[in-house]
Amino acid sequence: MSLDKNKTVAEVGRRTRLRNHDVQKMLEALIEVWSEELATGGRIELENFLVLEVKQVDRGINPGQLMIGGKLKRAPRLIRQLVVRPSKNLRSLLKSF
């Protein structure tokens, strides 16, 4: 089973008895706030669920090359990477299934 945005809105609306329109507005605002936080290098911690954070990775003196527009370009040495870690609670739930 896959849970997309529309299914999430419908399920949250059903469980909370809120209108789907209100749930959708809240979800979109939440995604916008989280995106801004991660874009500025912040960290999001959802207790008993996930930790999202942006880490800067130094790829060393030989970071490699990228093909851009048919031309080889040097890859950047420093990159920002999104790291997603499950909480201890979620890890134990995943192991039990």
For the whole model, what pTM was predicted? 0.75
Per-residue pLDDT of 67-92, as tens digits, reads: 888 889 888 888 899 999 998 889 99
Backbone angles phi, psi at 74, to 5 degrees: -70, 135
**Burial 31-63, CB ≥16 within 10 A → b, else e:** eeeeeeebeeeeeeeeeeeeebbbeeeeeeeee
Q: Please give the pLDDT value at position 62.
A: 82
Per-residue pLDDT of 28-73, as tens digits, reads: 999 999 999 999 999 999 999 999 999 998 988 888 888 888 889 8
The enclosing H or E element of 27 equals helix 20-39
Could you tell me which residues come within 8 angstroms of residue 72 by beta carbon, excluding any fewer than 6 positions away?
65, 66
Q: How confident is the model at residue 15 (pLDDT cuts 50, 70, 90)?
A: very high
Q: Can you tell me the distance from the alpha carbon of 39 to that of 64, in angstroms, rounded to the nearest whole number?
A: 25
